[in-house]
Structure 1
Amino acid sequence: MFENLLPPLNDHNLPYPDTIHPIVVHFVIAMVLFAFFCDVVGYFSKNYKLYEVSWWNMFFATISIFIAIVFGQIEAGLAIAYDAAEPILDLHTIIGWSLSGIIAAITGWRYVIRSQDPQKMPLAYLGIGVLLTGLVFFQVYLGDELVWVYGLHTVPVVEAAKEGLL
Structure 2
Amino acid sequence: MLDLIPKLNDHNLPYPDTIHPILVHFVIAMVLFAFTCDVIGYFTKNPRLFEVSWWNMCLATVAIFVAIIFGQFEAGLAKPYDVVQPVLSMHTLIGWSMSGVIATITAWRYAIRLKTPNQIPIPYLGLGLVLTCLVFLQVYLGDELVWVYGLHTVPVVEAIKEGVL
Would the aligned equivalents of 2:45 and 2:119 in 1 still touch at CA under 8 Å?
no
When the two structures are aligned, how many residues end up with a matched partner?
165
Aligned to 2:18: 19
**What is the match of residue 158 of structure 2?**
159
5 Å-filtered alignment, 1:78-97, equals 78-97=77-96
Q: Which residue of 2 aligns with 1:144?
A: 143
Q: Alpha-carbon deviations, 1:55-109, whole Å to 9, x = none?
A: 0000000000001001000000000200000000001001101111110000000
Q: Give the whole-Å Cα distance in 2 for the aligned partners of 1:106 and 1:3.
A: 43
Q: Secondary structure at the match of 1:121?
A: coil
* 1:10-159 correspondence to structure 2 within 5 Å: 10-159=9-158
Unpaired stretches in structure 1, ≥5 consecutive residues:
none
Instruction: Give, in whole Å, the separation in 1 of the partners of 2:153 and 2:2.
Output: 23
Partner Cα distance (1:149, 1:83) in 2? 14
**Paired residue type of 1:82:** Y
| 1:78 counterpart letter in structure 2 | L
Q: CA deviation at 1:4?
A: 4.5
Does the 8 Å contact 2:61/2:103 carry over to 1? yes
Contact 2:91/2:142 (<8 A) preserved? yes
Q: CA RMSD in A?
A: 0.9
TM-score where L is the length of structure 1:
0.97
Fraction of identical pairs, as percent:
71
The TM-score normalised by the length of structure 2 is 0.98
Deviation at 1:12, TM superposition (A): 0.1
TM-aligned CA deviation for residue 120 of structure 1: 1.2
